[in-house]
Chains A and B, each alone.
Chain A
Amino acid sequence: MMVLELFLEFVCLSFVAFGGATAMLPEMHRVIVGHHHWLDDTTFTHLYAIAQAAPGPNVLVVTLIGWKVAGLLGALAATFGMCLPMSVLIYWLVDRWERFSGRRWQQAISLGVAPLAVGLIFSGATLMAQAADFRPGGWTLMLVTALLNLRYPSLHPLWLIAAGALMGLSSGL
């Protein structure tokens, strides 16, 4: 039953997932950790960290959450729940898109959704930092990573994650 519930939760989430899976972090945290108590704070941040360090689309954090909540079936249910509704919709919509594209209301939604997506990602970062309950070393590492990434955009983020992992290993943060 858990698997079905998981599937339905992610189907619901997929309809408001503007900005992709990353923008969904705060809502996933609210539903998975806060509402259902399927995972605790620490596990949630760990899963996000693992997903970031693995290759593939951002949506894979959903797969990991599903796995941790209900095993292999859970992983598949969560991933399909997240991907299926919009895939079906886009399959149907793609041939009709040209007609909508460029209309004023269509532009208004694209323009209007952008600041919300930024807010969602910022909220996700805030909630993750809260949930991880960093000590001063962790906060410093977080800040330095953010600044390095902004200052040197061509430096692959994976190096920063690897550096973070090494710092965590050696110092206990």
Chain B
Amino acid sequence: MNTAPVNAPPSEPSASPTLTALFWGFSSVGLSGFGGVLPFARRLLVEERQWITAETFNTQLGLCQFLPGPNVVNLAVIVGKRYQGWPGAIVAPLGLLAGPILIVLLLALLYDRYGALPLAQGLLRGMAAAGCGLLFAMAWRMGMAIPRKPVFWPFTVLTVTAMAFLRWPLPLVMIGGLLLSGGVAYWTLGQK
């Protein structure tokens, strides 16, 4: 199961990265992006190292986005497994996370020590406000990318009502929402 590359078409780049290469490759991906590293993952995997083709990247990413959980971590598992079996599937996500975790913990230490100072409080308030703005922008951009807005936007409104205002638990909202929204999607797919 973990010897040959999975589903590799003949045109697939033949370079088979070692465990070390996987670790450092994904480390560089993890450390290069702020607020999401997916574009960097694509650049490294498809363009620079050519570990996988653009087409494979899209299909595998489809699976990563289909499942819950952090997409890039899932992607690292897939690429790691593809080339080095289960050790690769462990080493690649570790490489992705190790560097950023160290940095973030260092920041946490600084926060513990200096976070209560008025200067730091002002700084953090400013960063939080900008961060919130980015979140709203992201929600807006994703909302605009949704097909058939009149059909699907009501589900966005329902989700916001349930989460932000009624403060319902997420599992309940997701299961209910998926049944409704997925049901409507299933129906619209049959219409074509």
Please determine whether A114 and B63 come into contact, CB atoms closer than 8 angstroms: no
**Docked-complex contact B184 and A112, CB < 8 angstroms:** yes
Complex: chain B residue closest to A67, CB-CB: B108
Q: B29 to nearest A CB, angstroms?
A: 9
Contact A106 B69, CB 8 Å, known A115-B156, A145-B129: no
Query: Separation in Å of the A5 CB from the closest CB of chain B?
Result: 17
Q: How large is the interface on B (under 10, 10 to 19, 20 to 34, 35 or more residues)?
A: 35 or more
Cβ contact within 8 Å between A144 and B185: no
Pair A18/B68 contact, Cβ less than 8 Å: yes
Interface-central residue, B89, B101, B146, B190, by most chain A CB under 10 Å: B101
A4 interface residue (CB < 8 Å to B): no
Q: Does B91 reach chain A (CB closer than 8 Å)?
A: no
User: How many A residues have CB within 8 A of the partner chain?
Assistant: 109
The A-contacting residues of B in range 112-154, CB under 8 angstroms, are: 115, 119, 122-143, 145-147, 152-153
Give every chain B residue within 8 A of A141 (Cβ-Cβ).
Answer: 126, 129-130, 133
A2: Cβ under 8 A from any B Cβ? no
Query: Could you tell me the distance between the alpha carbons of A50 and B124 in the complex, rounded to whole angstroms?
Result: 8
Instruction: Determine the chain B residues whose CB is within 8 A of the CB of A8 once the complex forms.
Output: none
Residues of A within 8 A of B32 (CB): 55
Are the CB atoms of B93 and A87 closer together than 8 Å? Answer: yes
Q: How far is the CA of A101 from the CA of B161 in the complex (A)?
A: 32
Stretch at the interface among B12-20, B42-50, B73-81: B73-81
**In the complex, how many angstroms separate the beta carbon of A139 from the nearest chain B beta carbon?**
8
Q: Does any Cβ of B come within 8 Å of A1's Cβ?
A: no
Question: Assuming the A-B contacts A55-B100, A112-B183, are A119 and B122 also in contact, with contact meaning beta carbons closer than 8 angstroms in the complex?
Answer: no
B25 at the interface (CB under 8 A from A): no
Choice from B97, B127, B189 contacting A79 with Cβ under 8 Å: B97
Hey, which bits of chain A sit against chain B, CB under 8 A? 12-18, 20-22, 24-27, 30, 34, 45-60, 63-64, 67-68, 72, 75, 79, 82-83, 85-87, 89-91, 93-95, 97-98, 101, 104-129, 132, 134, 138-139, 141-147, 149-150, 153, 156-158, 160-161, 163-173
Query: What would be 22 A-B contacts, judged by CB atoms less than 8 Å apart?
Result: A20-B69, A20-B71, A26-B163, A49-B127, A49-B131, A59-B72, A91-B89, A104-B189, A104-B190, A107-B185, A108-B183, A109-B185, A116-B177, A120-B163, A125-B136, A132-B125, A134-B125, A146-B134, A169-B119, A169-B122, A170-B122, A173-B129
